[in-house]
């Protein structure tokens, strides 16, 4: 761990030498919410709302749901950074997070996380409905307690079950429109659930040494490349197969059907390439699968949004 400790120490020294300005502090609090993760929330929430409505919901409802969901996800991310600040300081990929650099104090991050949690719950309760608000609280609980506090440092299955937190936006989006649940959002919940491991495990392969240094048992750090590649293939196939279930259940048309097959086939191709490279002992290039998984899910949900708007 010496190399990563040197990096974190240098970063903290540089941070302390740089005066903390209001701009840096504001950017630090924004960074606590993991804005890149919020992009995924938008991708999975709005299309499901269109599907639930069978057209465009009211702009006010969409904005209210997106704002509430963003505050909720930001709360979970801030709690995560507060709880993981000990290991974040020793990983190259996380050493620039705001608590580590000193842009935000640990106490400030904790207070910020609680404020976002309360505000997001109250907001969703009054602007959408009680079910959406309850699902939002459940998502925060899964990410903070089940994943970060219980599973992450104890089992290589951490991202499988802890990843459930990232599946809730589809349920929140649906219930914000309908006030109830149905099989269509449940299928999409499972799609995101199955997609999360083959999305994250390649990333853990790239940062294997860093996870080993801080004793976090991500699968990419505990298994060899071929074993991880095989698991990625299995989950990728399950993801694509589950996505096809939406066609009969929700009466999806040609746009979604073709998209699920074509983009799913590409996702499977990239997953098999990862495995084949690992088996041959060549560079597996895991980030290709990582980025492909993001593109796949984005295009799949774009198709979900477009399909109900077309007459075929």
Q: Which domains does the chain have, with CATH numbers?
A: 26-179 (1.10.357.140), 182-312 (1.20.120.1780)
Q: Report the pLDDT value the prediction gives residue 10, as an integer from 0 to 100.
A: 43
Q: Report the pLDDT value the prediction gives residue 16, as an integer from 0 to 100.
A: 47
Residue that is written with structure tokens 């499901």 in the block: 48
| CB-side neighbour CA atoms (13 Å) of 41 | 26
Q: For the chain, what is the largest distance between any 2 Cα atoms, rounded to a whole number of angstroms?
A: 62
208-233 pLDDT, tens digit per residue, is 999 999 999 999 889 999 999 999 99
Q: Report the pLDDT value the prediction gives residue 8, as an integer from 0 to 100.
A: 46
Q: What is the mean pLDDT of residues 107-127?
A: 98
Q: Report the pLDDT value the prediction gives residue 282, as an integer from 0 to 100.
A: 87
50-101 pLDDT, tens digit per residue, is 999 999 999 999 999 999 999 999 999 999 999 999 999 999 989 999 999 9
224-270 pLDDT, tens digit per residue, is 999 999 999 999 999 999 999 999 999 999 999 999 999 999 999 99
**Mean pLDDT, the chain, as a whole number?**
91
Buried b / exposed e over 23-36, threshold 16 CB at 10 Å, is ebeeebbebbbbee
What token pair was written down for 34? 């993991």
Q: Report the pLDDT value the prediction gives residue 18, as an integer from 0 to 100.
A: 56
Contact assessment for residue 297 and residue 43, using Cβ atoms and an 8 Å cutoff: yes
Q: Which residue has the higher pLDDT, 15 or 206?
A: 206
pLDDT band for position 1 (cuts 50, 70, 90): very low
DSSP secondary structure string, 67-88?
HHHHHHHHHHHHHHHHHTHHHH
pLDDT band for position 283 (cuts 50, 70, 90): confident
Q: Report the pLDDT value the prediction gives residue 163, as an integer from 0 to 100.
A: 86
- Kindly state the percentage of the chain with pLDDT values over 90: 84
As to burial, measured by CB atoms within 10 angstroms (0-12 exposed, 13-18 middle, 19+ buried), residue 310 is exposed
How far is the C-alpha of 22 from the C-alpha of 103, rounded, in Å? 9
Q: Which helix (H) or strand (E) holds 255?
A: helix 254-280
Q: What is the mean pLDDT of residues 8-28?
A: 64
Structure-derived torsion over alpha carbons of residues 26, 28, 31, 32, reported in degrees to the nearest 10: -110
Q: Report the pLDDT value the prediction gives residue 290, as an integer from 0 to 100.
A: 95
């Amino acid at each position: 761990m010496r190399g990563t400790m040197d990096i974190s120490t240098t970063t903290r020294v540089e941070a302390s030498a740089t005066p903390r300005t209001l701009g840096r502090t504001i950017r630090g609090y924004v960074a606590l919410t993991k804005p890149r993760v919020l992009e995924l929330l938008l991708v999975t929430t709005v299309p499901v709302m269109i599907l639930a409505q069978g057209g465009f919901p009211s702009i006010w409802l969409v904005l209210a749901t997106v704002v509430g969901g963003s505050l909720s996800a930001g709360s979970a991310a801030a709690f995560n950074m507060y709880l993981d600040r000990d290991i974040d300081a020793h990983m190259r990929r996380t050493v620039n997070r705001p608590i580590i650099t000193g842009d935000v104090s640990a106490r400030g991050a904790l207070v910020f996380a609680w404020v976002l949690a309360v505000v997001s719950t109250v907001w969703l309760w009054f602007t959408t409905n009680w079910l959406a608000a309850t699902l939002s609280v459940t998502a925060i609980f899964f990410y903070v307690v089940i994943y970060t506090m219980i599973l992450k440092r104890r089992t290589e299955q951490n991202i499988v079950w802890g990843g459930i937190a990232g599946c809730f936006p589809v349920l929140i989006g649906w219930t914000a429109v309908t006030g109830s649940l149905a099989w269509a959002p449940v299928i999409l919940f499972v799609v995101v659930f199955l997609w999360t491991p083959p999305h994250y495990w390649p990333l853990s392969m790239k940062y294997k040494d860093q996870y080993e240094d801080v004793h976090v048992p991500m699968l990419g750090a505990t298994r060899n490349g071929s074993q991880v590649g095989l698991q990625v293939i299995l989950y990728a196939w399950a993801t694509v197969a589950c996505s096809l279930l939406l066609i009969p259940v929700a009466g999806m048309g040609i746009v979604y059907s073709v998209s699920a097959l074509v983009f799913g086939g590409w996702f499977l191709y990239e997953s098999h390439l990862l495995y084949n490279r690992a088996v041959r002992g060549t560079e597996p290039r895991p980030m290709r699968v990582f980025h492909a998984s993001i593109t796949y899910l984005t295009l799949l949900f774009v198709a979900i949004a477009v399909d109900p708007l077309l007459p075929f």
